[in-house]
Amino acid sequence: MTDNPELILAGIGLTAMAAQWLAWRLHVPAILFLLLAGLGVGPVTGWLQPDDLFNGLLFPLVSLSVAIILFEGSLTLEFREIRGLKKVVRSLVTTGTVVAWALIAVASHWIMRFDWDLALLFGAITVVTGPTVIAPLLRIVRPVKSVANALRWEGILIDPIGALLAVLAYELLIALRSTHDLKHAMWIFGVTVFTGTLAGIVAGLFTGTVLRRQWLPESLTNLSVLALVLASFAVANTLHQESGLLTVTIMGIWLANRPDVPIDDILEFKQTLSQLLLSGLFILLAARMDLGLLTALGWQSLVLLAVILWITRPVSVAVATLGSPLGWRERALLAWIAPRGIVAAAVSALFALRLEALGVDQADKLLPLTFLVIAGTVIWQSLTARPAARLLGLNEPDPVGFLIVGANPVARAIGVALKEQNVPVRLCDSDWYSLSKARMLGLETYYGMPFSEHARRNLDRTGLGRLLALGTRDHINQLITLRGRDEFGKNEVFSLPRTTTSDTEEKHAPAPKLRGRTLFAPGLGYWKLQNLLLGGAQIRTTKLTGSFRFKDYRQSDPEHLVPLFAVTPKGYARPFTLDTRLQPEPGWTIISLDTRGKDSADTKTDTRRPF
């Protein structure tokens, strides 16, 4: 290990970035590569020794980081999302959790030869799925909404419940090995739940009041909420040890379900912070691993992993979903997906140290066995969850389509051209007449603005991963793209060029980086496009071949052909924009605007209908 702490901390950041990038490229949860990276820089090379680097601050940092991660996850839990699933979620985090806890405890007792008290502790630790692995897995699998919402709510709610179960099992273990008093452990559990719930409600009320009444300037809002979260966690733990996790979870759920509390900016900030903390935590905890203990677990550990994957989860889901409205396919997918996450790693690391200090037999196996379960569940379900969803017919289509804001003649023409290439589109507008004409052309529509509260609840975004702002007014398009960046990402939001670029108008326009990516060609704004279409211009398609490449297409009639989209053979449409230079390949289809009008002759194109 180097003696330069600055270099070590910078190296942790670079390692985390590399692991996250690799996970993004391979479409698997980042936790797997973070664990491998931690093992590589820790026990394999000896470059990172977390205990020496942080001394006594390591586990306070771990505890505070887990609190922030739980708070960020609970901020996404809105009760309206589980209409019809409340019973399922409630059963999963209560009955299902108890069943899974019991089965894992029994299995670890008989397979790993753990004493019953240690087996109960291991079962409580590994019953936790967690949002840190569920969220990226859901982005990859994209199951239907009922399954996705159930898994996401379970992942968030079970984190504090699992932590409380672990606390109960830990207190029970200590009590039985010291006083043999079962009532003492139950009392500790009850006080923990009461303290955490009450503190969370109080913290949520206070924070919500601060945000609702705008007592803070916008520049201090994120920092202040972060400070309140950490303070709430610390105060709750001071009042009663281990109640802080429940406190921050209740606090986040309270804020998420108050319609008058603005949390959008807070949520965006917390998501970035949580990703940073998550990356660092997994590397630090994995770096503390003893590879000798990991390899000494033997074949019994793999048998236990198989029991957790293929017996414990299916049985617990089957029991929890009895009498629910879910079909057998949805239940099967719920039973298949249950990766373990950061809370299991953090809690096991914390309790393992305490138990080893007390001289508890086999306590040194607790951390490596937990990490094996984490890695095993993540690897298995990363490889199999998406094929399982497809086999069951429960995966949403790839988000390759466009949400088109506007149902005017230009938007309708572009919508029809994309639809005829099998690209999903949905047009949104507040003009009923324009929408009726779009429906007559066979286009899917939504009556209203795409980012209204009604749209948030009712607009079907299935298969739509990009936004086209094709309205008649520049400033409305710019506002739409600015709002759409949060949901679709800055690289997936597009708008037409501004109608005018005079110095006077430029003073009133948002900065270019906030406008979205500019479509098609300079000066080809809405009114120019509409005039061209009214004057007889046609939207056409051209299929590129080995003998007629994109270069040939551009040279065929550069004055009259304006390329709009390039559609790959798999049906993914890439817009032509001012900031990129697409190079379509043979087999691709070019959607273009032919400004020559309907009387032009071109054997390589198909004339589209007027709009």
Q: Which domains does the chain have, with CATH numbers?
A: 5-392 (1.20.1530.20), 401-607 (3.40.50.720)
Report which secondary-structure segment, H or E, holds 593.
Answer: strand 589-594
Output the pTM of the full model.
0.67
Torsions phi, psi of 404, nearest 5? -100, 120
Q: Which pair of structure tokens corresponds to residue 66?
A: 């887990």
Q: Which pair of structure tokens corresponds to residue 282?
A: 């997994």
- Per the CB < 8 A criterion, the answer to whether 274 and 68 are in contact is yes
Residue whose C-alpha is closest to residue 466's, from 496, 499, 490: 490
| pLDDT at residue number 135 | 72
| pLDDT at residue number 103 | 94
**Residue stretches of the chain with pLDDT short of 50:** 502-504, 599-611
Q: How many helices (H) and strands (E) does the chain have?
A: 26, 11
Burial classification of residue 106, based on how many CB atoms lie within 10 Å of its CB (0-12 exposed, 13-18 middle, 19 or more buried): middle
> How far separated are the first and last CA of the chain, in Å rounded?
69
Farthest CA pair distance, the chain = 95
Report the distance separating Cα 400 and Cα 573, nearest Å.
8
- Per the CB < 8 A criterion, the answer to whether 73 and 270 are in contact is no
Report the distance separating Cα 584 and Cα 579, nearest Å.
16
| pLDDT at residue number 185 | 67
Residue whose C-alpha is closest to residue 362's, from 221, 173, 99: 173
Torsions phi, psi of 518, nearest 5? -85, 130
C-beta neighbour count of 209 within 10 angstroms: 12
- Per the CB < 8 A criterion, the answer to whether 122 and 132 are in contact is no
Q: Which pair of structure tokens corresponds to residue 150?
A: 């159930």
